[in-house]
Amino acid sequence: MKFRCERDTLAEAIGTAQRAVSARSGALPVLSGIQVTASDDHIELVGCDLDLTIRVQVPAQVDTDGQAVVPAKLFDGLTTRLKAGTVTFEVEGDDARISSGSAKAGVRLLPADEFPRVGEPSGSAVTVDAAPFAEALRQVIPGASRDDARPILTGVLLTATADGVRLVATDSYRLAVRDLAGVGMLSEGQRVLVGARGLNEVQRVFSSGKIDVTFGEREVRFASETRTVTARLIEGEFPNYEQLIPSGYPNRLTVSRATLEEAVRLMQIVGEGREGTPVRLAMSADGLELSANAQERADATEAIDAKFEGTDVTVAFNPQFLLDGLLSVEGDEVVLETLDPLKPATLKGTDHPEFLYLLMPVRIS
């Protein structure tokens, strides 16, 4: 196999495919590599960890067709450090020679015949606009758990609604719900659970244009002409999240999103390096006062203008969880609704009811 490709084009493709490469290859070392296939006028790079597969196709001048598996970290590191211009890639026995200008490098290849053939769904594809779907994913993915001990919570629930699709994620401490109208990627009554890690790559890879979505029994594929992300579906019953959302709230705080974000970041610094240092929000007719106290290390307070309706209340939150919500909400102003210091609170944009972020408070003395 031998091909030539522009360095920047090749490096970007390697970086994208590498995000699916297994960090812990274990019993299957070949998963630490990127499969490279050269044919016709292009090359295809594939990264895979059995749960997630990313395929990237880029133009290249192909002298000899072929296939090889290259250690991902070496491939990425060497390519990004070559001089700009044309990179030549040639397989010689069990090695690959990579060169650009006067720089040359050799890499021992991984066994190509051991690279897994990952199943692809064979159902009918539905075409959707990438931008609004990617934005919806950006909003809900922070709510998913990163703890593999509870696989169900590491996924994002996609469920059909009367006018589109609803995306839901929770880690049991917070809940993110986003309704996306006009996106008919699911049939009536259909519910699927897709790993948040795979969907995070979908929102990174497909930020514009159209994508074809195909659901199978065990995986879902998102594809454009040159890129494909395939993720395994998670089996199991997603929690009954709707019962977590209170039917009404007596306390309502309206505040500038940017102002509140900056104040929470200040409070977070006080407790940096100390888990369990919450940020307290004291809400009253006078506005909002935030405070944080990390025992003898540091403390801080800040009062900001806000409109409050209800009974004076002080609620404490994990500052990072609160920040995740503020970064997910759209609009200049946000509404924080509370029941009492121990019940879930909700955060949403004043003009964006399609997204809701529910957050469990931290118990304080």
**CATH code for the domain of 106:** 3.10.150.10
**Least confident interval from 28-37, 38-47, 271-280:** 271-280
Q: Work out how many domains the chain is built from and give that number.
A: 3
pLDDT score of 365 more than 80:
no
Residue 216 lies in a domain: yes
User: For position 148, what pLDDT does the model report?
Assistant: 87
> What's the whole-model pTM score?
0.91
Both 231 and 252 in one domain: the answer is no
Residue 154: domain span? 126-243
Selection from 128, 325, 269 nearest residue 211 by Cα? 128
> What's the rounded mean pLDDT across residues 263-280?
85
Among 116, 123, 137, 130, which Cα is nearest to 31's?
116
Q: Is residue 120 part of a domain?
A: no
Same domain, 161 and 192: yes
Residue 213 shares a structural domain with residue 156: yes
> What per-residue confidence (pLDDT) applies to 273?
61
CA Rg value for the chain = 24
Last-in-domain residue among 203, 221, 243:
243
Q: Does 250 lie in the same domain as 239?
A: no
Closest CA to 288 of 314, 270, 321, 268: 314
C-alpha 30: how far from its chain's center? Answer: 25
Burial class for 319, CB neighbours closer than 10 Å (0-12, 13-18, 19+): buried
- Mean pLDDT for 184-199 is 92
Q: Which residue, 208, 243, 278, sits at the end of a domain?
A: 243
SS3 label, residue 279: strand
Instruction: Say if residue 122's pLDDT is above 90.
Output: no
Residue 210 shares a structural domain with residue 140? yes
Q: Are residues 193 and 221 in the same domain?
A: yes
Helix %, strand %, coil % for the chain, to 5? 25, 45, 35
Q: Which residue has the higher pLDDT, 2 or 122?
A: 2
145 with 199, same domain? yes
Where does the pLDDT of residue 81 fall: very low under 50, low under 70, confident under 90, or very high at 90 and above? very high
Residues 143 and 200 in one domain: yes
Quick one: 135 and 53 in the same domain? no
Alpha-carbon gap, residue 303 to 320, rounded angstroms: 19
Angstrom CA distances, 359 to 153, 279, 294, 297, stand at: 15, 13, 22, 27
| 7 shares its domain with 110 | yes
Q: Say how far apart CA 314 and CA 361 lie, in whole Å.
A: 10
Using alpha carbons only, give the angle 85, 86, 88 rounded to the nearest 5 degrees: 145
Residue 119 within a domain = no
Helix (H) or strand (E) holding 350: none
Query: Which of 219, 243, 267 is at the close of a domain?
Result: 243
Question: Who's near 17: CB < 8 A, 6+ residues apart?
Answer: 34, 45, 46, 47, 54, 55, 56, 72
- Amino acid identity, residue 284? S
* The pair of three-digit structure tokens given for residue 274, joined into one six-digit string: 């100390």
- The pLDDT of residue 274 is above 70: no
288 with 341, same domain?
A: yes
Dist. CA 101–CA 6, nearest whole Å? 12
pLDDT of residue 78: 94
Chain mean pLDDT for the chain: 93
CA dist., res. 16 & res. 46, Å (int): 9
Are 238 and 340 in the same domain? no
